[in-house]
Amino acid sequence: MQDEKKSITFELRHSRHLLLDQLDVDGVKKIHNSKILIIGAGGLGCPAAQYLVSSGINSLQWVDPDIVSESNLPRQILFAPNKVGQKKVLAGMDHLKKMSPEITILPEPVKANSKNLPGWISAADVVLECSDQFKTKQLVNKLCVQFKRPLIIGSAIQWNGQLQVIDPKLINQACYACVFDPKDNVTDAACGAFGVFAPAVGTIGILQANEALKIVAGLKTSVGKLLLFDALNLDFNFIEINKRKDCPVCNKD
Which residues are identified as catalytic? 191
The whole-angstrom separation of Cα 231 and Cα 143 is 31
Q: Who contacts 123 (Cβ-Cβ below 8 Å, separation ≥6)? A: 35, 37, 61
CA distances from 246 to 167, 175, 218, 239, 240 (A): 18, 12, 30, 20, 18
- Residues paired with 230 in a beta bridge: 160, 235
Question: What sign does the CA torsion over 111, 113, 119, 120 have?
Answer: positive
Angle between helices 198-217 and 25-32 (to 10 degrees): 120
Q: Residue 91: CB partners within 8 Å, gap ≥ 6? A: 68, 78, 79, 83
194 CB-near residues (< 8 Å, 6+ apart): 157, 158
The contacts of residue 84 (CB under 8 Å, 6+ apart) are: 68, 69, 70, 73
